[in-house]
Structure 1
């Protein structure tokens, strides 16, 4: 039998897994899995169990929000033999699952794990930590982990916007030097997002055709300090149209990015607290996470699949 470690966060989202756990386990058992179930009780529990016992299993499946998935991915980066990963989203936004077209309905996500294909997704490193889809600073990036869990459970995505409005007057610009691919940009920035995802905080920042989640590169988007309403409008127009041609915006792709700040900056990793840092280095680990998802994902977010399609077309 195929051995599976099933990790779930009982508090994620609206605690919906409590009513779905039996159905999920039954789906796995019918597909020939021998299952060990582990419920997280606090921060880093998922990382620790993957590091301690992950190599004993053929599959590691987690259910929770993007923060739980982040912990599992961090554990993966600290073991040699990497089992196939599965994800059953149970959080409020679930950007990582959305980018990989993993169903929001938990039973369907479980069925996908028994039928899907393995996609080798890139993972990001942030100094000595890791992220699955985004790290960021400034503007509203702190909102996701400052928002009370009870609000998330009761209000869903609206809870984030309510919390954001409370902090709109607190946006602070940070003087930074951004270094990538031989380029060096120095300016004051109010927002930075370094991602490997179609969706960030529920917002689809890029055209899907521009995002390749296994190409070994991050998509980086920075917004410079806003001085007047016209600059603010230009930046908002760029975000809405997905055309980042305003002189207040900096957008590029790179496999490694270094940022040096004058002061300590609060970062988030996959929507969770990333700590205060004056200097950060982000590296893309290509093909690091073997995760089960819909076969159609390869056609949309896979660099390898796109290259194969081009080769076939040329022939």
Structure 2
């Protein structure tokens, strides 16, 4: 009698409305593809934070847990997995608008190509950021990033989101949104008047690869402080981006840290991976190699 090798088990957590319901339309093809390697169980999300609940409560016994949706769905699944003592490998099927996390991990943006990618690639250990009791994969931000993301989320989920993001950013910078920030790292204290503080792990923001040198296993967080900046400065920075040059501007300072305390006056809303997550002050720490994900580093 031939030996039968049991397949590893995969839990597919998917957002049925992501990508204008793209996953719903392609679900059968996705499952057929994944079943070539894994024993697949599917679980749709029914409400906000449901992906996190499923990941935390139902991941036991699975070798791989796949987050299928946008960055918000991935963020929820990661927060569920990080609460576990034994964490299965994370897989990603990108179906959002920006797909920043997938871009950093070089995961194909086509869903069926992403399935093939998952079947061929080996899991890699990545660093995870911890913000209080919550976790983030791509970034944490306050100021411009959190305000603009919140307004856009309330207005649109269409493919105009990229363009809307930049329009909202320009509008924000023309108004008075300065706040005082104090950042304490292991090696320095930074005190500035700022419009944004951005703590980066990934290389992509709003679908554009701004920080191409960032790696998910770098062992550090990049802390970017943006002081008061006008339209001419934005043009200068974007010109640097188009020329693939590093951002260099007197109003933008960059620092590296593995842990920091972030304080703001007045207190600022915290955005982690595009999701609102309380207000400052907050302690931030990098957890090195805390999660394994199928991707390229």
TM (norm. structure 1) is: 0.84
Structure 1 segment 1-315 matched on structure 2, within 5 A: 1-31=7-37, 33-148=38-153, 151-164=156-169, 167-170=172-175, 172-206=177-211, 208=212, 210-226=213-229, 242-277=245-280, 279-293=281-295, 297=296, 301=297
Q: What runs of 5+ residues in structure 2 fail to find an aligned partner?
A: 1-6
Which residue of structure 1 lines up, in the alignment, with residue 3 of structure 2?
A: none
Change (3 A) 1:7 1:229: closer
Give the Å deviation of 1:172.
Answer: 0.5
Q: Deviations over 1:241-261 (max 9, x none)?
A: 654443322101111121122
CA RMSD, 1 decimal = 2.3
Which residue of structure 2 lines up, in the alignment, with residue 312 of structure 1?
A: none
Which residue of structure 1 lines up, in the alignment, with residue 4 of structure 2?
A: none
Distance 2:176 2:146 in 1: 10
Change (3 A) 1:176 1:10: same
Structure in which a larger fraction of residues adopt helix: 1
1:37 aligned counterpart, secondary structure: strand
Q: Deviations over 1:267-287 (max 9, x none)?
A: 21101212322x111111111
Give the Å deviation of 1:9.
Answer: 0.5
Distance 1:156 1:82 in 2: 33
Distance 1:254 1:22 in 2: 44
Distance 2:27 2:171 in 1: 36
Q: Is the 8 A contact 1:127 1:280 kept in 2?
A: yes
Give the Å deviation of 1:233.
Answer: 6.0
Change (3 A) 1:237 1:259: farther
Q: Is the 8 A contact 1:244 1:250 kept in 2?
A: no
1:26 aligned counterpart, secondary structure: helix
Q: Deviations over 1:205-227 (max 9, x none)?
A: 22x3x32321221111111124x
2:60 aligned counterpart, secondary structure: helix
Give the Å deviation of 1:199.
Answer: 1.0
Change (3 A) 1:224 1:239: farther
Give the Å deviation of 1:230.
Answer: 6.4
Distance 1:150 1:30 in 2: 40
Q: Once structures 1 and 2 are overlaid, which stretch shifts more, 146-155 or 133-142?
A: 146-155
Q: Deviations over 1:117-152 (max 9, x none)?
A: 111111111111111110111224433343257732
Q: Is the 8 A contact 1:142 1:267 kept in 2?
A: no
Q: What runs of 5+ residues in structure 1 fail to find an aligned partner?
A: 302-315
How many residue pairs align between the two structures? 290
Distance 2:264 2:146 in 1: 17
TM (norm. structure 2) is: 0.89
